[in-house]
Amino acid sequence: MSQTAPLLLSVIVPTFNERDNIAEIVRRLEATLPPQSWEVIFVDDASPDGTAAGVRALARTDRRVRLISRHDRRGLSSAVVEGVLAAAADIVAVMDGDLQHDESVLPGMVEQVRTGRADLVAASRFLSPDGADGLSSDARLAISTSGIRLANAVFGLDMSDPLTGFFVVRRDVVERALPELSGLGFKILLDIITSSHPRPRVVEVPFRFRARQHGESKLDKRVMYDFFLFFLEKKVSRFIPVPARFISFAMINAIGILVHLAAFVPLAGGLGFARAQLVATLIAMAFNYTVNNEVTYSDRKLRGGKFYVGFVIFAVLCSLGVVANVGVASMLHQGYPGLVALLPAAAGAFVTVVWNYVATHVFVWGRGRLAQRLRIALSRLVGQG
């Protein structure tokens, strides 16, 4: 039986279009960490630039390099969780694949966790005067500082950078947080801290956030929306355990009602009530489907022919939801005539939202075999027609 040094650290690196950074990340880790005491797990979200192929090429000659290649799903938080669950070491580090995180501070961070001085060590961009120089714009700096203030206020934290993506943590802390992890957006550190019971002992250390050299930023226009959903989910789930996707779906459907009314009013004069109602319903349905596809299910977004097939399934399922709405509201109104009419109507609307979310989650954006077969069958039917 061969004797090898004990594995102390698993480094998790989520990637998307980071091909040019892979070899340099491994080289820097090798220069910083003791030989054979670490492994690096790249979790790639089907990068079109060949990032996965680059990792495989390195892994053939260096067994410390591992790859998780994900298909048909994206998201930094979920990538980190998958990497942590695949880690062999009891201590894991999370860092970006864009070379902005200074790997030279890793040994000190690992030592604090290894010796039990902390459960989690976070590298802060704001503990030194020039630490946040790598933020690419004033807008990105403003988003970060505003988010930090909000996170500290809402969750009772006292951290200089609870939104950092660079940290070291005991693997069991993440495993303990799993049942309540949101997995939404890109701020996995905040998710882990707020989902762990009891909360982990956190220590912050300074580091300099370097300028990006290659690849592309994970931040996009949906960042603040995801952040908003994260806060809502964490607060609402204390009373009603609903996922962030449902909150997003329900909010978009509420806006869809306004879209329906905005379309109906100008159409009613020329088309008459029934036709105007039908056209307005179709417009609102198209709005709900398109926005949910772009926002609520951005990690499962349907494109090309699948987009149109998905809309047909969405429309059919939501039509069934309307039937359920009317049925429940009518049953309550007849069975409890003393109730204010608004209450049965609200109950019917609630049933519709729940039905539409569950049904479309499974059959429109679902990854199960039944959903895939349904989409394939409808695609063939449409093609033959």
Q: Tens digits of per-residue pLDDT, 199-257? A: 999 999 999 887 765 545 555 556 667 777 877 777 776 667 777 888 889 899 889 88
- Count the neighbouring beta carbons within 10 Å of the beta carbon of residue 376: 12
Report yes or no on 322 lying in a domain: yes
Placement of tokens 């802060």 in the chain: 124
| One domain, residues 78 and 158 | yes
Placement of tokens 């204010």 in the chain: 340
| One domain, residues 253 and 217 | no
What's residue 1's pLDDT?
Answer: 36
| One domain, residues 89 and 120 | yes
What's residue 385's pLDDT?
Answer: 46
| One domain, residues 254 and 223 | no
Report yes or no on 1 lying in a domain: no
DSSP H helices in 272-367: 273-291, 305-335, 342-363
Residue 222 CA to its chain's centroid (Å): 10
Question: Could you tell me which residues are beta bridge partners of residue 167?
Answer: 94, 122
Report yes or no on 345 lying in a domain: yes
Mark the ranges of the chain whose per-residue pLDDT is less than 70. 1-5, 72, 129-141, 143, 183-186, 212-224, 237-239, 273, 322-349, 367-385
What's residue 14's pLDDT?
Answer: 93
| One domain, residues 264 and 216 | no
CATH number at residue 229: 3.90.550.10
The last residue of one of the domains, among 233, 254, 284, is 233
| One domain, residues 67 and 214 | yes
The last residue of one of the domains, among 186, 212, 233, is 233
What's residue 210's pLDDT?
Answer: 76
| One domain, residues 34 and 135 | yes
DSSP H helices in the chain: 22-32, 51-59, 76-86, 106-114, 138-155, 171-177, 188-195, 223-236, 244-271, 273-291, 305-335, 342-363, 369-384
Distance CA 332, CA 197 (A): 41
| One domain, residues 197 and 271 | no
Preceding amide of 198 cis, omega within 30: yes
Distance CA 218, CA 371 (A): 29
Report yes or no on 76 lying in a domain: yes
Helix axes 244-271 and 273-291, enclosed angle (nearest 10): 150
Report yes or no on 238 lying in a domain: no
Look up the domain containing 126 and give its range: 9-233
Question: Could you tell me which residues are beta bridge partners of residue 66?
Answer: 41
Strand order in 38-44's β-sheet? 65-69, 38-44, 9-15, 91-94, 167-170, 120-124, 202-206
**Tally of domains within the chain:** 2
| One domain, residues 167 and 252 | no
| One domain, residues 259 and 297 | yes
| One domain, residues 190 and 313 | no
Report yes or no on 3 lying in a domain: no
Report yes or no on 4 lying in a domain: no
The last residue of one of the domains, among 233, 264, 280, is 233
Residue 112 backbone phi and psi in degrees, to 5: -65, -35
CA atoms lying within 13 Å on the CB side of residue 29 = 26
Report yes or no on 278 lying in a domain: yes
| One domain, residues 228 and 133 | yes
Q: What is the per-residue pLDDT across 144-180, written as a single tens digit (0 to 9) for each? A: 777 788 888 888 888 999 989 999 999 999 999 998 8
